[in-house]
């Protein structure tokens, strides 16, 4: 049954690529492919982390604000050098995830509400930290993380964010499929009571799931800050919805228990391609919103019918 859902999704994606190729002559150019892939990575990395949380029957609305917080904290440390910037950013982001995890387990707060609260808290902290200003970036090495490429010879240059995304994808896949973390996350989402009776430490593994999501979000925050070479507290609005939409389109159920990273990947690429082609075709913004919403709705309805057979 998994194949039955993923296969049409995959086909739709290929079909979309073909249509885009005809719609704009720039779509399949080398430059656009790299641009597209690089634009995918920001939401993409977040979506990979979000997949774990959603499989565990939770949700994380705070990712957008975490990106903003990581952005300002990491760039503000630029006088201490690149490693300090990265560590500070990761630390702050993971802290948000810890708060999320503890609130949901020990605090027994419903994930939607808990992460809604951290979303506004993180945003407020980011704005307070910079007094609502942006922080100009002066560290060129930092900027390279977001804007640089790895030269592989033969004139192929892979942007660093894309490489980071690939590494994270492989790592996440291993986690989900080959470790007890992945298995327990699926067990907790599938039937929490049953997992508890079998001896799975529900609290511990739930917190780890939220930690992993915020860890990936921090990485994404660092990449986006590097791209702008600026610490900005006003970025990140709406990222959580894009991430959740990508995960859900890929076949992961919001009720938890099942989901595959390959599905999330297709979801991410789907949205990125849609945004990209609309930019290339110069379509106004309201069409973008509408189409994203229609795609999400259609995918959900289709999934519902596939599963109810």
Residue numbers at the binding site for another protein (CB under 8 A): 1, 26, 29, 31-32, 35, 39, 42, 127, 130-137, 143, 146-147, 178-181, 183, 186-187, 190-191, 193-200, 224, 227-230, 232-238, 257-258, 275-276, 279-280, 282, 284-285, 288
CB 253, min distance to another protein, A? 8
Structure tokens that stand for 301 in this block: 């309805």
97 vs 137, beta carbon nearer another protein: 137
Phi, psi of 158 (to 5 degrees): -95, 125
CB 104, min distance to another protein, A? 20
Name every residue whose Cβ is closer than 8 Å to that of residue 13 and which is 6 or more positions away in sequence.
266, 269, 270, 273
11 vs 33, beta carbon nearer another protein: 33
Q: At what angle do helices 140-147 and 82-105 cross, to 10 degrees?
A: 60
CB 59, min distance to another protein, A? 18
Element (H, E) at 150: strand 149-151
CB 88, min distance to another protein, A? 19
From CA 174, how far away is CA 155, in angstroms rounded?
A: 31
114 vs 227, beta carbon nearer another protein: 227
CB 227, min distance to another protein, A? 6
12 vs 230, beta carbon nearer another protein: 230
11 vs 180, beta carbon nearer another protein: 180
CB 130, min distance to another protein, A? 8
11 vs 178, beta carbon nearer another protein: 178
CB count within 10 Å of CB 308 equals 6
Give pairs for 264-270: CB < 8 Å, separation 24+: 264/47, 264/48, 264/50, 264/51, 265/44, 265/169, 266/6, 266/9, 266/10, 266/13, 267/47, 268/40, 268/43, 268/44, 268/47, 269/13, 269/40, 270/12, 270/13, 270/16, 270/246, 270/295
Structure tokens that stand for 253 in this block: 């159920």
Contact by Cβ (8 Å): 256, 188: yes
């Amino acid at each position: 049954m998994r194949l039955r859902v993923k296969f049409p999704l995959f086909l739709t994606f290929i079909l979309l690529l073909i249509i885009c190729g005809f719609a704009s002559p720039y779509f399949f150019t080398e430059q656009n492919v790299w641009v597209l892939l690089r634009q995918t990575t920001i939401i993409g990395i977040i979506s990979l982390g979000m997949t774990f949380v959603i499989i565990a029957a939770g949700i994380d609305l705070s990712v957008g604000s975490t990106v903003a917080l990581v952005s300002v904290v990491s760039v503000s440390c630029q006088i201490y050098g690149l490693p300090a910037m990265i560590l500070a950013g990761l630390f702050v982001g993971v802290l948000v995830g810890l708060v999320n995890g503890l609130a949901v387990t020990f605090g027994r707060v419903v994930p939607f509400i808990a992460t809604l609260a951290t979303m506004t808290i993180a945003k407020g902290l980011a704005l307070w930290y910079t007094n609502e200003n942006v922080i100009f970036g002066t560290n060129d090495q930092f900027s390279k993380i977001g804007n640089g490429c790895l030269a592989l010879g033969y004139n192929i240059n892979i942007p660093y964010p894309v490489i980071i995304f690939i590494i994270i994808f492989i790592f996440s896949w291993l986690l989900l499929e080959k470790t007890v973390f992945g298995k327990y996350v699926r067990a907790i989402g599938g039937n929490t009571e049953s997992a508890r009776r079998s001896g799975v430490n529900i609290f511990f593994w739930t917190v780890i799931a939220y930690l992993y999501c915020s860890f990936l979000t921090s990485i994404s925050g660092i990449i986006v800050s590097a791209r702008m070479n600026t610490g900005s507290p006003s970025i990140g609005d709406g990222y959580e919805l894009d991430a959740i939409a990508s995960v859900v389109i890929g076949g992961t159920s919001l009720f938890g228990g099942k989901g595959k990273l390959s599905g999330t990947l297709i979801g991410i690429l789907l949205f990125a391609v849609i945004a990209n082609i609309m930019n290339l075709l110069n379509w106004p913004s309201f069409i973008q919103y509408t189409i994203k919403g229609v795609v999400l709705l259609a995918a959900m309805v289709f999934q519902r019918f596939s599963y109810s057979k």
